Chains A and B, each alone.
Chain A
Amino acid sequence: MPWNKVVDRAMSHWMEATGPHSDVVLSTRIRLARNLEGFPFPHMLSEGQAAEVIRKVEAGVREIDKIQVPGVVSPVELYRLAEIPPLARQVLVEKHLISPPLAQDARGRAVAISANEAVSIMVNEEDHIRIQVLSSGLDLENTWTLASRVDDALEEKLTYAFHNVRGYLTACPTNLGTGLRASVMVHLPALVITGQAGRLFNTLGQFGLAVRGYFGEGTDAQGNIYQISNQVTLGRSEEDIISNLNGVAQQVIEHERKARDHLKRQMRAQIEDRVGRAYGILTGAHILSSEEAMRLLSDVRLGVDLGLIPRVPVKVLNELLVAIRPAFLQKTAGKDLGPFERDVRRASLVRQRLAA
C-alpha cells in the first residue's frame, strides 16, 4: 500500500469503538522500546548506520508477514520518512502512527504500519525500534499479547541489546528493563464537570501512573481526553505493569460512570441543555476553531453516551478527532490553508459528518 492510502483516510482500526468500555476508554496503546546490539543509539548514529538499522528492521518486518503473526493484519509495510512530504508526515502524527519528533526530522528514520493501522513500528526515533499497538476501548491484555508477538517476530531476525540484569537496554534509562509503556486514552467529561478530575489524577500517582491531557495543544486538556500510563519500566514484569494499569483504569471508568449518572439524575436539565447546545452549534456553525470543536465534540459524546442524542455513532466522533486536525484538513484540501480557511473547512466537515 502506498503511503498515500494511509494518509488519506481518517479512520484507523482503533477508532471503530468496538472495544470493551468504549463509553469511557477511547483506546489502549502498548509501546515497546527495543534497540539493536552493535549499534549506538539513534542520536549517535551516522547516516550510513541509520540506513543500515532501517534495512535490518525492514528484514524483521518482512518476517512478521512471513510467519503470519496472529492478530496482525498483513501486510506490514515500511516507509522511509524522508520519502514522505512534511504535511503527510504530520497527518501520520495526527493519526498517532508516529511521534512528533519522527515527523520533524525525517532523515534516517522510518515507520512500518500494518494494513489496519493497529501496529506501527517506528525506526530510529529515540530508540532503534518502537513497537506500538493501538486498539479500541480498554483491552490491555490482548494489546500486550499482540505487541509481544510482534516483538518475538522481529527478534527472529534481529539481535536486541539486552542485559541479563537490566533487561532491554534503551537510550533513556526511564525506559530501561521492559521498555514497556502501556496507556489508555480516556474521556472524562463528567469527572471534569463535577470537579473531581484533579483529585483523581493526584491519587493515580500512588499507583505509579501518570496522567496528561491528550489533545492538549493549547492551555487546556482539550475535549476532556486524558492519557493514563505507567511510569516505572524496571523491576516489575510486563504482566504486573499491565494488570496494575488495568485495575486503575477500571476504577476510573467506574468513577466516571458514577459521575455521569449523577449528572443525569441530579442535573438533567443542565446537561440536556449543554449537550443540546453543543449539538446545535456543531450542526449549524460555519466557522469552528479546533479548540471549540474539541470542546463541543466532548459534550456531544457525553450526550450520546447518556442516551440524550441517539443519532451520532461513536466511531464518527472518533474519526472527527483526527479529521478536524490542521494537517489532515490541509491534506484533504490538497493545499496549505490559513487558520481562517481551516476553521471554515472544519465547520463544514463537522456539519457533514454529524448530518450523515
Chain B
Amino acid sequence: MLCQNCGQRPATVHIVKQVNNHKEEYHLCETCAREQGQFSMELPNFSLQQLLASMLEEGPWGPMPGSLQAPAETRCPSCGLTFRQFKERGFFGCGQCYTTFEGELLPLLRRMQGSDRHVGKAPRRTGGRLRVRRDLEQLRQQLQRAIAAEEYEKAAELRDRIRVLEQRLEAGGEGGAVE
C-alpha cells in the first residue's frame, strides 16, 4: 500500500479510528507522518492536526460536514488563546480553555472520542466528591439488584454503606475542593 499523502513511499503508519459508526483510516509513510505532526514515540498525536483539520474545515481527506464556527475574537480569559490559534496548533493553552471553548469543542470531542464525558479515575484528593458520588451510584445499582433478587441481608448491608457515603457527601466530601 502506498502512502495516501505523497503516493510515493510505502505506507507504514496505519491509523484506523472507529467512532460510533464512522470509520476513518489513514495510511501514511513515515516521512509524511513525521511531517504532519510531532513524530514522537507516542502514537496518536501525529494525526491530530489532520483530524482537527478534517473536522473543522476541508482537510487533506476531503470536506467534513458540520464545519464549526467560533467568533474569532473569543479569547480564553486565563491564557489568551483564541479558537483559531487552537485550530492551528492543535493544543489548548490551559485547562480553562476547555470551558471557554466548550461550545466549539463538544461536537469535536464526540467525533474524535465518541464521547464528551469522562468515566474513569479521579484524583484522590481533589476529586474526592466525584469518587464518592461514583461509588454511591454503583452501590445503589447493587442495592436494586439485591432487592430484585430478594437478597435482603445483602441489601441491608448495602443500604448501610450508602448511608455512610451520603453522610460523607453532606459533610463536604473528603477534601472536595472541586465543584
Are the CB atoms of B117 and A234 closer together than 8 Å?
yes
Residues B108-142 near A (CB distance < 8 A): 108-109, 112-127, 130
- Cα separation A162 to B43 with both chains bound (whole Å): 24
Q: Are B120 and A177 in contact (CB under 8 A)?
A: yes
Instruction: Known contacts A31-B42, A198-B1; decide if A126 and B115 are in contact (CB<8 Å).
Output: no
Chain A contacts for B115, CB-based, 8 A: 177, 232, 234-236
Given the known interface contacts A174-B51, A211-B14, A235-B118, the answer about A181 and B125 at a Cβ–Cβ threshold of 8 Å is no
Contacts of B10 in A (CB 8 A): 219-220
Given contacts A41-B91, A205-B23, A210-B14, contact A229 B43 (CB under 8 A): yes
> Would you call A275 an interface residue if the criterion is a C-beta within 8 Å of the partner chain's C-beta atoms?
no
Describe A's contact surface by its main secondary structure.
mixed
Asked if B118 and A221 make an inter-chain contact with CB atoms under 8 angstroms apart, the answer reads: no
Q: Give complex CA distance A165, B116 in Å.
A: 8
A158 to B27, CA, bound (A): 40
Sort chain B's interface into a size bin. 35 or more
A175–B109 Cα gap in the complex (Å)? 11
Q: How many A-B contacts at CB < 8 Å in the complex?
A: 198
A221, B12: Cβ atoms closer than 8 Å: yes
Choose the segment among B33-41, B57-65, B153-161, B164-172 that binds chain A (4+ C-beta atoms closer than 8 Å). Answer: B33-41
Interface of B is mostly: loop
| Bound: A235/B110 CA distance, A | 10
A156 to B79, CA, bound (A): 26
- Kindly provide the distance from the CB of A208 to the nearest chain B CB, expressed in whole angstroms: 6
Are the CB atoms of A231 and B44 closer together than 8 Å?
yes
Q: Is the CB of A217 within 8 A of B30?
A: yes
Using Cβ atoms and an 8 Å threshold, which residues of chain A touch B1? 198
A164 interfacial contact with B, CB 8 Å: yes
Docked complex Cα distance between A166 and B117 (Å): 5
| Choice from B13, B18, B89 contacting A43 with Cβ under 8 Å | B89
Task: Give the interface segment out of A92-100, A248-256, A292-300, A314-322.
Answer: A92-100
Asked if residues A43 and B116 are in contact (CB atoms below 8 Å), the reply is: no
A100 CA / B18 CA spacing, docked (Å): 28
**Are A219 and B120 interface neighbours, CB within 8 A?**
no
User: Within the assembled complex, what's the spacing in Å between the Cα atoms of A24 and B29?
Assistant: 25
The answer to whether A210 and B42 have CB atoms under 8 Å apart is no
Known: A172-B48, A229-B44; 6 extra A-B contacts, CB below 8 A, are: A168-B118, A171-B92, A173-B108, A173-B113, A177-B120, A183-B43
